[in-house]
């Protein structure tokens, strides 16, 4: 699977987690918060470390800058979500905000960025998609600790 296919699959996986959230009993929702934070953190890591630097060569800079800003907004919402994951009312509100930002981000990325990258040689990213996923997975633990440490409250 090439890296663009991996990213699109991660989008589908995030959508499935949001969908699972809507149908999950309340006692499962704190765990779903963690799973969502891990999935989106790993995805953002891949994009920011490997994809966006390459994307700047084929997509205008402001579009990539906006995508990075959206990642920042999602990171802030993930941190908040982790801090309120046991408070049903606040958790629901934060998750709705996060889902709206993530859905818009994924749609724009699939429409404006990823199709242009699909035409590039796989070597443009410096590592194979499997190596990138492994490296991002290794970095995810540190990123999750940082998210939890920055959680308000």
pLDDT at position 151, please?
66
- Measured in whole angstroms, how far is the alpha carbon of residue 47 from the centre of its chain? 8
Closest CA to 55 of 131, 6, 122, 113: 113
**Dihedral, CA of residue 105, residue 5, residue 14 and residue 106, to nearest 10:** 10
Closest CA to 38 of 85, 83, 94, 78: 78
* Residue 104 near residue 94 (C-beta atoms within 8 A): no
- The secondary element (H helix, E strand) that includes residue 42 is helix 29-46
pLDDT at position 64, please?
93
> What is the C-alpha to C-alpha distance for residues 67 and 106, in angstroms, rounded to an integer?
10
Q: What is the pLDDT along the chain (153 residues), one digit of tens a residue?
A: 689 999 999 999 999 999 999 999 999 999 999 999 999 999 999 999 999 999 999 998 899 999 999 999 999 999 999 999 999 999 999 999 999 999 999 999 999 999 999 888 778 888 888 898 888 887 777 666 676 776 665
> What is the C-alpha to C-alpha distance for residues 114 and 123, in angstroms, rounded to an integer?
16
* Residue 126 near residue 3 (C-beta atoms within 8 A): no
């Amino acid at each position: 699977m090439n890296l663009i296919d991996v990213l699109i699959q991660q989008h589908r996986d995030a959508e499935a987690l949001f969908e699972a959230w809507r149908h999950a009993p309340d006692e499962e929702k704190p765990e779903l918060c963690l799973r969502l934070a891990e999935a989106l953190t790993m995805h953002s890591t891949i994009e920011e470390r490997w994809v966006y630097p390459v994307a700047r060569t084929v997509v205008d800079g402001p579009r990539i800058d906006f995508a990075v800003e959206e990642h920042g907004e999602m990171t802030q919402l993930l941190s908040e979500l982790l801090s309120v994951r046991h408070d049903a009312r606040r958790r629901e509100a934060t998750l709705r905000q996060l889902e709206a930002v993530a859905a818009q981000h994924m749609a724009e990325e699939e429409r404006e960025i990823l199709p242009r990258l699909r035409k590039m040689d796989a070597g443009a990213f410096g590592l194979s998609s499997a190596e990138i996923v492994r490296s991002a997975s290794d970095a995810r633990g540190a990123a999750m600790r940082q998210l939890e440490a920055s959680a308000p409250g």
